Amino acid sequence: MSIFGLFRKQKSAPMARERLQVLLAHERASAGSDLVSILREEILAVIAKHVELDADRVHVKMDRDENMSILEIDVEIPLKSTLQAA
């Protein structure tokens, strides 16, 4: 390769890094999917015992960090059901 090749060629490592970050963010969200989907179903069942809710309005997300995993549960409860429960 000539000296000029250095100027022409883009560094490839930053591309690798970026592609991996995007891909793994996606894969981590969908992988662990066994656990997340089991949790989702069970959480849904427990809450549904007490309040009426829309299954599509329950979001369960798992994030991983160096020291811990964060389980995020987001349940939207319609106003009507809240009144019934109270």
User: Could you say whether residue 24 binds another protein (CB under 8 A)?
Assistant: yes
φ and ψ at residue 79, rounded to 5 degrees? -55, -40
Size of the site for another protein (CB under 8 A): 24
The single residue among 4, 13, 49, 72 that binds another protein, judged by CB under 8 A, is 13
Residue (of 41, 60, 53) closest to 78 by Cα position: 53
For residue 47, give both structure tokens.
């809450």
85 part of the interface to another protein, by CB under 8 A: no
User: Which SS3 state, helix, strand or coil, does residue 23 take?
Assistant: helix
Please give the residue ranges that form the binding site for another protein (CB under 8 A).
Answer: 1, 3, 6, 11-14, 16-17, 19-21, 23-24, 27-28, 31-32, 34-35, 64-66, 69
